[in-house]
Amino acid sequence: MDETDLNRYNIDWYNQVRGKSKIVIKPKTTEEVSKILSFCNEQMLAVCPQGGNTCVSGASVPVFDEIILSSDLMNKIISLDENSGVLVCQAGCILENLNNYVADKHLLLPLDLGSKGSCHIGGNISTNAGGLRLLRYGSLHGNVLGLEVVKASGEILDCLSTLKKDNTGYHLHHLFIGSEGTLGFLTKVAIQCPPQSKAVCLAFLAKNELGEILSAVEVIDTPSMDTVNEHLKLSSPIGKHEYYLLLETKGSDEGHDQQKLNKFLESVLNTNLISDGAIASEPAKYHAMWALRERLPEAFLHDGYVFNYDLTVPLEYYYKLVADVREHVGSRAHRVFGFGHLGDGNIHLQVSVKEFSKQMKQHIETFLFKKIKELNGSISAEHGVGFLKAPHLSSIKNESSFKLMKSLKALMDPNAILNPYKVLEN
């Protein structure tokens, strides 16, 4: 593999962490993963598990020269039960491919991300990816039914239950959801796919009243819209406003859904909370609207260096936080902007600057993390801890949780070969 090829595996999506590994291994089967890990464990060789490498907290790239264990070639779909909606596949399947596969049976994956064209389902689960459908279908802890995992020792752990309800013994697979490859390497996945909704409506505008059909509420602010407009030439369908809300419904009867949506819009327009709006139900218009939100992370890459934070805050502070940070950094930043999953209290806050500097990073984070702690929020709503937030973990977790995390790590990976320097810094 030459340097350019290796870069794809060594550098993360936001170009924030650069490893210098010379070895990428791409097993095809669980047994191959088992042999590789068993060997590495005996030889005390550090291993960095990697899926589609779309993680933005540095969990999926090596920090030094760890061996990259990639799920690139573990992309087989094993089974789909059309009655129950249970999909079983290898961990390296690309999210979008899975979604297309189950769409034929009128099912959909319970998660959807901007990076769907390259992220792996195993990586999604290892990092407990949230994304755009969480509001409706819930987190992966609710949707992943079972996992097959190879432990650091090479031992294959079979928790690949495909049952919606199985209450026999400890629910072991949850240990691996969100542990970012530090406790084991995911090889197979069983996931519950909900039925596709017959009717999808999208409105460019807030929550309540729509109840069971509401599947996503996304908020975009002016500077975010400016960034997409400037770098990707995409523009708002309703002119310039301070905030934009993107609201999606998914129901079984299009007439009912449009009635509910229209009734809702009418009532909010009457309250003057909303100044304008557009509704899309045809696919082209629908995709153009979603692109405004989905392509935001892509647009940033053109906006100098971007410090990005993935936060959960109480709803009443949701946007005030962006304003506070904007005031704090003042003219030292090019743009401070926020967008995200309003329905979950999850905001993606971005500060773009000409170029990276340690001082600026510290200036932002000292202020921001103190604020988040005061608000009882989370400094990583969905992106995980990875390498970038690992130094902060001991200060945000209480001592008892941190200690138990360390004990679990020691139990599962006594030689600490799996994804070192990430999450727990060991």
Interface of this chain with a copy of itself, residues 281 to 310, rule: CB under 8 A: 310
With respect to a copy of itself, which residue has the nearer C-beta, 10 or 128?
A: 128
CB contact burial 386-402 (16+ within 10 A = b; e otherwise) = bbbbbeebeebeeeeee
Q: Which residue's CB is nearer to a copy of itself, number 62 or number 85?
A: 85
Query: Using the rule CB under 8 A, which residue among 237, 396, 415, 416 binds a copy of itself?
Result: 396
**Binding positions for a copy of itself, 365-394, rule CB under 8 A:** 376-385, 389, 393
Question: What's the closest the beta carbon of residue 273 comes to a copy of itself, in angstroms?
Answer: 16
Burial class (CB in 10 A: 0-12, 13-18, 19+), 232: middle
Rounded Cα gap, residues 312 and 315, in angstroms? 9
Ramachandran class of 355: left when φ > 0, alpha when ψ lies in -120 to 50, beta otherwise? beta
User: Which residue type is seen at 158?
Assistant: D
Contact segment (CB under 8 A) with a copy of itself among 128-136, 219-227, 290-298, 413-421 equals 128-136
Of residues 210 through 229, those in contact with a copy of itself by CB under 8 A are 210-213
Q: Which is nearer to a copy of itself, 21 or 215 (CB)?
A: 215
CA distance 117 to 140: 19
- Select the residue interacting with a copy of itself from 172, 234, 288, 416 (CB under 8 A): 172
Residue 139 binds to a copy of itself (criterion: CB under 8 A): yes
Binding-residue total with a copy of itself (CB under 8 A): 85
Comparison of 329 and 412: residue with beta carbon closer to a copy of itself? 412
For position 397 contacting a copy of itself by CB under 8 A, the verdict is yes
The Cα 52–Cα 98 span in angstroms is: 14
Residue 42 or 158 having the CB closest to a copy of itself: 158
Determine which residue in the list 405, 419, 420, 421 makes contact with a copy of itself, applying CB under 8 A.
405
> Is the CB of 316 or the CB of 355 nearer to a copy of itself?
316
Query: Contact between 7 and a copy of itself (CB under 8 A)?
Result: no
Give the single-character DSSP code of 59.
S
> For residue 327, which of 355, 297, 368, 369 has the smallest C-alpha distance?
368
> Would you count residue 168 as binding a copy of itself (CB under 8 A)?
yes
Q: How far apart are CA 343 and CA 424, in angstroms?
A: 30
Answer yes or no whether residue 206 interacts with a copy of itself by CB under 8 A: no
The only residue of 95, 177, 247, 388 in contact with a copy of itself, by rule CB under 8 A: 177
Question: Using the rule CB under 8 A, is 258 a contact of a copy of itself?
Answer: no
Coil/strand/helix, residue 309: strand
> Of 116, 120, 188, 260, which lies in the binding site for a copy of itself, with binding defined by CB under 8 A?
260
Contact indicator for 348, 382 with CB cutoff of 8 Å:
no
Task: Give the DSSP H or E segment for 47.
Answer: strand 47-50
What amino acid occupies position 260? K
Rounded to a whole number of angstroms, the minimum distance from the CB of residue 413 to a copy of itself is 12
Does residue 209 interact with a copy of itself by CB under 8 A?
yes
- The answer to whether residues 189 and 143 touch, using CB atoms and an 8 Å cutoff, is no
Cβ proximity to a copy of itself: between 355 and 399 the closer is 399
Residues 6+ away with beta carbon under 8 Å from 405: 397, 423, 424
Q: Considering the complex, state which of residue 169 and residue 330 has its C-beta at the smaller distance from a copy of itself.
A: 169
3-class DSSP assignment, residue 76: coil
Kindly tell me which residue out of 7, 15, 29, 401 binds a copy of itself, with binding defined by CB under 8 A: 401
Please give the residues from 75 up to 114 whose contact with a copy of itself meets the rule CB under 8 A. 81, 83-84
User: Amino acid letter at 85?
Assistant: G
Tell me how far, at minimum, the Cβ of 219 lies from a copy of itself, in Å.
Answer: 15
Cβ proximity to a copy of itself: between 88 and 299 the closer is 88
8 Å CB contact between 393 and 423: yes
Q: Is 165 in the site for a copy of itself (CB under 8 A)?
A: yes
Cβ atoms of residues 358 and 16 within 8 Å: no
Name the DSSP letter for residue 212: G
Q: Are 285 and 332 in contact (CB under 8 A)?
A: no
Say whether residue 23 binds a copy of itself (CB under 8 A): no
What is the C-alpha separation between 62 and 64, in angstroms, rounded? 6
19 is an interface residue for a copy of itself by CB under 8 A: no
